[in-house]
């Protein structure tokens, strides 16, 4: 048996990685500001500068670390430096539109959480919401999971769903999915921060 002992008075340190989509970031920052998400967020890192104003409003430092195919290893090494310097406990991919390499994933097992829409793997590639609409999907959702070496295939922490009908066009499906992503990610991050998630091989056990 393996076991861990945690100081309940210590706030876990989070590193938020983002790109251009701000809905998940905004939701996490609001929960943090209102005290429902009891963590420390010392920095927000992004491969684009678009969300800096959101960080500025919350008075959280923003680091722009651009990345290309040729500079990916250097950029991820810089992210790891931040993790080590700030004592980061959990890296949250709040709609970070980059595929992580083993350089990050292998160094931070069960310490990276990602979110993806629940239409995967049924509708992969471009325009999943259009594909869902064209196929008459009746249930949409989102999945929050730990990051593994397989894309969007890590141990699942939380899933949210919502029923839709013929009146939901692709834009409505996309809007509803954004809300579901925010909720699933926030729950997963909070449960991890409260040490309520246990890894059990390829899956998790969550204590509610």
Determine whether 169 is an active site residue: no
> Which residue of the set 50, 152, 153, 179 is catalytic?
152
What does the DSSP assignment read for the chain? -------TTSPPEEEEEE-S--HHHHHHHHHHHHTSS--EEEEEEESSSTTHHHHHHTT--EEE----TTTHHHHHHHHHHHHHHHT-SEEEESS--SPPPHHHHTTSTT-EEEEEETTTTTS-SS-HHHHHHHTT--EEEEEEEE--SSTT-SPEEEEEEEE--TT--HHHHHHHHHHHHHHHHHHHHHHHHTT-EEEETTEEEE--
Q: Which residues are catalytic?
A: 152
């Amino acid at each position: 048996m393996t076991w861990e002992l945690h100081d309940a008075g210590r706030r876990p340190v989070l590193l938020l990685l983002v790109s251009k989509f701000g809905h998940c970031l905004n939701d996490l920052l609001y929960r943090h500001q209102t005290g429902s998400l009891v963590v420390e967020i010392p920095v927000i890192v992004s491969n684009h500068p678009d969300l800096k104003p959101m960080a500025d409003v919350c008075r959280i430092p923003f680091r722009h670390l651009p990345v290309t195919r040729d500079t990916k290893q250097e950029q991820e090494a810089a992210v790891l430096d931040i993790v080590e310097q700030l004592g980061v406990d959990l890296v949250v991919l709040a709609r970070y539109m980059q595929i992580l390499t083993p350089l990050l994933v292998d160094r931070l097992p069960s310490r990276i959480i990602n979110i993806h829409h629940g239409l995967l793997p049924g509708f992969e590639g471009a325009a999943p919401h259009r594909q869902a609409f064209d196929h008459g999907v009746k249930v949409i959702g989102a999945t929050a999971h730990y990051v593994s070496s397989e894309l969007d295939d890590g141990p699942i922490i939380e899933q949210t769903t919502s029923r839709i009908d013929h009146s939901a066009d692709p834009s409505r499906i996309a809007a509803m999915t954004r809300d579901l992503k925010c909720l699933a990610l926030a729950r997963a991050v909070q449960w991890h921060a409260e040490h309520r998630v246990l890894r059990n091989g390829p899956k998790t056990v969550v204590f509610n």
